[in-house]
A and B are shown apart, each in its own frame.
Chain A
């Protein structure tokens, strides 16, 4: 929870921009129609410290997954800087990136798709060690695999190590994916919707596992659409809307005292567990605009219930809100 001072920052992203060209098709190219771009990530800044879990939350299409993929350089970015462990990694070439690939690992939403069905648990977890030629002796590799499995809660390892994905439950598969990430001893783990495909009864176990890794000093960047999960497990929450972080701060603060009108609306529609606390959903008009045509001024103004004239002109920056925790920042002109 400590404020991430400049030196404690494991990952430091500044003004990140990632755009995808919209395919024009043959006719479009012949007709010389203007090339459109999807502004998936449009100036995103955030940081993750060692031993900290940061949740990037937002609706589908807000750019949260692209942000994560840009951080691991799976998607090219067109602007901004990505500093990892003190080094600018945004400009490294694939060869220079290789050692880094060990230090940042990513796990995905769907443990049914992310594991190779023809690989045993051993093969899956061992593969990263082979790819990075880390351990020569096979006994040592086996020991590493066992250790990673134990850390991921697949105990006793002997019970699972020779199984194929189809012989495992969803929760166990996600643990295999986590073990395969842990075997490289990364400093940063990116978890893209790590529990959304899993049954409620096993979700808490996977999240507690990530929480334990964080406590052991790993930085965790969790991408999620589930504010309740983020509120419970993350240290900080960053809310994304249309390619931009519109609010960020300590997790409890953001959900209990939201500042940005978008966050307020988003929180109002989260169903509460207690049936007696019926929520009064503040349903926003319209759909999330297309990131091809980001509205001028504040990108949220067309749907904002509080928008004023100046919101159409000035693009607000993320800044501190008077009277609040200095780490709690929002991008709204009206604050």
Chain B
């Protein structure tokens, strides 16, 4: 699998938001990752860490107050380079997104089918008749019987509306699906069904699907059960990225370790511990490591040196000085 070229690669992505009172908020600070076909990656972190901003930047959907730098390379081609002009041909066609709360964003006075069909007709991708057929196909794909297309949103349960939102994102057969908190407002039973659907959409390799999925969530257990890999974001940076099992059993950044420790497990006996303090403000320069004020393993270099991206183990990277033998030796 590693011989396949990545479907999508994000390279040194930065996003700044201009603040109304002057100044800038550096929301995403040099994010780099790539995904192969059919891979599912989690993007986790606390609110405000930049996870949603990262995927909105990939979609080219940030507001006008944002400035962006870096690359989003889709199948070898940077789509960020020409702004809207180079992104728009790929938006929905190659990269699609399920917005947070999408299930509650349906227009109550139009049928669900009409709302899924609308973008296809508007973009000239299908005739009205063709769109109808495609809608039935899409609904079927997400586990809703096609004849439900003529129903209104209020006739759907929450789980069905979320499935319909997924169907909408899949309308143009994208290669990459960015899912922003797709199960957050759902009950566990429905959550399990939606997660199962996302897994099945991505693991149909070789067929039309084989979707590559980025799952944005604050819910670590969801990522643990669904994703192959995860990136942990803090203060606009990916502070650790590794295979799920590696990051759980051998975290290389104290933040990841503390996040797992703050998450109660159904059958776990360990003490659940909160992480003291709060994330730093991103509208000013941060000296040293951004996690330092909350970290339980601080040593000298943390105050002054910003930890660079290191790969202590192949395929496992982290931004923490503890992974630099030269620094840890010097300190001891």
Known: A201-B46, A283-B193. A272 touches B278 (CB 8 A): no
Comparing A122-130, A184-192, A273-281, A308-316, the segment that makes contact with chain B is A273-281
B82 within 8 A of A: no
A137 within 8 A of B: no
Complex Cα distance A207/B274, Å?
Answer: 9
Nearest A-chain residue to B294, judged by Cβ: A201
Known: A201-B46, A204-B262. A271 touches B187 (CB 8 A): no
B259 within 8 A of A: yes
Known: A59-B188, A200-B220, A255-B267. A276 touches B245 (CB 8 A): yes
Q: Are A228 and B46 in contact (CB under 8 A)?
A: no
Q: Are B266 and A207 in contact (CB under 8 A)?
A: no
**What residues on B are CB-neighbors of A204 within 8 Å?**
262, 264, 272-274
**What residues on A are CB-neighbors of B259 within 8 Å?**
200-201
Complex Cα distance A203/B278, Å?
Answer: 12
Complex Cα distance A287/B144, Å?
Answer: 14
Complex Cα distance A203/B92, Å?
Answer: 36
Q: What per-residue 1/0 map shows which CB atoms of B266-277 lie under 8 Å from chain A? A: 111000111100
Comparing A41-49, A87-95, A262-270, the segment that makes contact with chain B is A262-270
A32 within 8 A of B: no
Complex Cα distance A269/B188, Å?
Answer: 6
Complex Cα distance A228/B193, Å?
Answer: 19
Within 8 A of B (CB), among A148-205: 169, 199-205
Q: Are A201 and B248 in contact (CB under 8 A)?
A: no
**What residues on B are CB-neighbors of A272 within 8 Å?**
221, 224-225, 265-267
Nearest B-chain residue to A276, judged by Cβ: B245
Within 8 A of B (CB), among A203-235: 203-208, 225, 227-229, 231-233
Q: What per-residue 1/0 map shows which CB atoms of B109-144 lie under 8 Å from chain A? A: 000000000000000000000000000000000000
Q: Are B218 and A199 in contact (CB under 8 A)?
A: yes
Q: Are B188 and A270 in contact (CB under 8 A)?
A: yes
Complex Cα distance A248/B263, Å?
Answer: 24
What's the minimum C-beta distance from B243 to chain A, rounded to whole angstroms?
Answer: 8
Q: Are A283 and B272 in contact (CB under 8 A)?
A: no
Nearest B-chain residue to A62, judged by Cβ: B187
What's the minimum C-beta distance from B194 to chain A, rounded to whole angstroms?
Answer: 11
Known: A201-B274, A271-B224, A274-B248. A228 touches B189 (CB 8 A): no
**What residues on B are CB-neighbors of A275 within 8 Å?**
224-225, 244-245, 248
**What residues on A are CB-neighbors of B192 within 8 Å?**
269, 281, 283
Partner of A59, one of B187, B196, B260, B266: B187
Partner of B189, one of A199, A206, A269, A276: A269
**What residues on B are CB-neighbors of A232 within 8 Å?**
264, 268, 272
Known: A204-B274, A266-B189. A231 touches B266 (CB 8 A): yes
B219 within 8 A of A: yes
Q: Are A271 and B225 in contact (CB under 8 A)?
A: yes
Name the interface size band of chain A: 35 or more
Partner of B265, one of A201, A203, A265, A273: A273
Partner of B188, one of A199, A205, A266: A266
Known: A202-B274, A204-B273, A256-B267. A273 touches B218 (CB 8 A): no
Complex Cα distance A269/B183, Å?
Answer: 13
Within 8 A of A (CB), among B242-300: 244-245, 248-249, 258-260, 262-268, 272-275, 278
Q: Are A203 and B274 in contact (CB under 8 A)?
A: yes
**What residues on B are CB-neighbors of A37 within 8 Å?**
none
A284 within 8 A of B: yes
**What residues on B are CB-neighbors of A256 within 8 Å?**
267
Nearest A-chain residue to B159, judged by Cβ: A287
**What residues on A are CB-neighbors of B328 within 8 Å?**
none
B56 within 8 A of A: no
B86 within 8 A of A: no
A114 within 8 A of B: no
A60 within 8 A of B: yes
B18 within 8 A of A: no
**What residues on B are CB-neighbors of A59 within 8 Å?**
187-189
What's the minimum C-beta distance from A18 to chain B, rounded to whole angstroms?
Answer: 21
Contacts A225-B188, A256-B267, A279-B225 known; list 15 others, CB within 8 Å. Answer: A199-B47, A199-B218, A200-B220, A201-B262, A204-B273, A228-B263, A232-B268, A266-B188, A266-B189, A275-B244, A275-B245, A276-B245, A276-B249, A283-B196, A284-B189
A-B contact pairs, 10 of them (CB 8 A): A200-B219, A228-B263, A255-B266, A266-B189, A269-B188, A270-B221, A273-B220, A273-B224, A273-B268, A278-B225
Closest 6 CB pairs of A and B: A205-B274, A271-B221, A204-B274, A275-B244, A269-B192, A201-B275
